[in-house]
Amino acid sequence: MSVYLNILIIIACIGGLWAGALWVVDSASRIAKKMGLSDLVIGLTIVAIATSAPEFVVTISAALKGSSEISLGNIVGSNIFNLGIILGIVIIFTTIKTTKLILYRDGFLLVITALLLIVFFSDFRLSQIEGIILFSILVIYIVVLFRHKEPLEEDVPEGLFKWTDIPLLLAGAATVIISGSYFVDAAEEIALHFGLSKWFIGITIVASGTSAPELATSIVAIAKGKHGISAGNLIGSDLFNMLGVLGMAGILSPLEISQTEYNSLFLMFGALAVLMVMIRTGWKLTRTEGIILILIALFRWSFDILVNM
């Protein structure tokens, strides 16, 4: 298959991942409302899982196909994109207030999770047992959130339930799954054609594509002047990716990486530590800090480009 055709497939798949995730979020939220579920339950389950659906499908698909580099690269790249590019853009346009809860519960767990990945991958392999540990931590985290029942800042899509929401939910899920599968295949072929590593493709093209729903939400929020997207929401999304998505991938198929890929985990840990300091400083994220986050993200991407040349 020609490289140009694969590029077109990737573009189409990004559109499919984007559209499918939005269909799932909208329809599932209305269905949950119809069932009498609270905004908290919808936000923590339906919305959180749906917006991370692209990362989940692509990472699991890559793991089952033996492409560990794409699996981990997608998660690390999504971390760069979500807590670097997207969060940076958002706080350039508006200052975000932070809280002790975001720092000491969510932020602390995010840093600990990054440290756990460094420990687990120290032998350049994520075993099934280690995958189970990661996924179990996510389950415990969600239980804690349910018990404390803090209100979410993220706006949940509104609207009345219609019978068409059920087929829309199924269509959205199918679109995400199919797009994710073809996305991985096309990305692998492009990597081979240009002599690029699967890790490089995963941390750049694949990660950017699977983060499309989060980017779309941010653009809409900025355009409408809404500040529903906060550091806490993006931290929660990243926790789901690192614990749930990567954990499940490890459970289904042990992941193996190289020394170069392992080094990127240290950069991720360092970037998260800097973000935690920003959250604590003045209990808000400012425009200057947004620019710094974007520069850190670009540095991390540049590092992976240089080491894969």
* CATH label of the domain that carries residue 59: 1.20.1420.30
DSSP H or E run through 246: helix 246-252
Length in residues, the chain: 309
Work out the number of other CB atoms within 10 angstroms of the CB of residue 138.
21
Q: Helices 231-239 and 108-120 meet at what angle, rounded to 10?
A: 30
Using only C-alpha atoms, the chain has a radius of gyration, in whole angstroms, of 18
pLDDT value of residue 55: 80
- DSSP assignment of 134-154 equals HHHHHHHHHHHHHHH-PPP-S
d(CA 135, CA 56): 13
Burial of residue 284 (number of CB atoms within 10 Å: 0-12, 13-18, 19+):
middle
Give this prediction's pTM: 0.80
Work out the number of other CB atoms within 10 angstroms of the CB of residue 21.
28
Residue 125 has what DSSP assignment? E
d(CA 198, CA 70): 6
The total of structural domains in the chain comes to: 1
158 phi and psi, to 5 degrees? -105, 165
pLDDT per residue as tens, the chain (309 positions): 688 898 899 889 888 877 887 787 777 767 767 776 554 455 545 656 666 777 887 888 888 888 888 888 889 988 999 899 988 988 888 888 887 877 888 889 999 999 999 999 999 999 999 999 999 999 998 788 767 655 544 444 556 778 888 898 888 878 877 887 788 788 878 877 888 788 888 888 788 777 776 676 566 555 655 554 446 567 777 888 899 999 999 999 889 988 888 999 999 999 999 999 999 998 889 999 999 999 999 999 888 777 765
Q: Contact at 8 Å (CB) between 243 and 138?
A: yes
- DSSP assignment of 17-44 equals HHHHHHHHHHHHHHHHHHTT--HHHIII
Domain range for 113: 3-307
Work out the number of other CB atoms within 10 angstroms of the CB of residue 220.
13
User: Which residues share a beta bridge with 284?
Assistant: 97
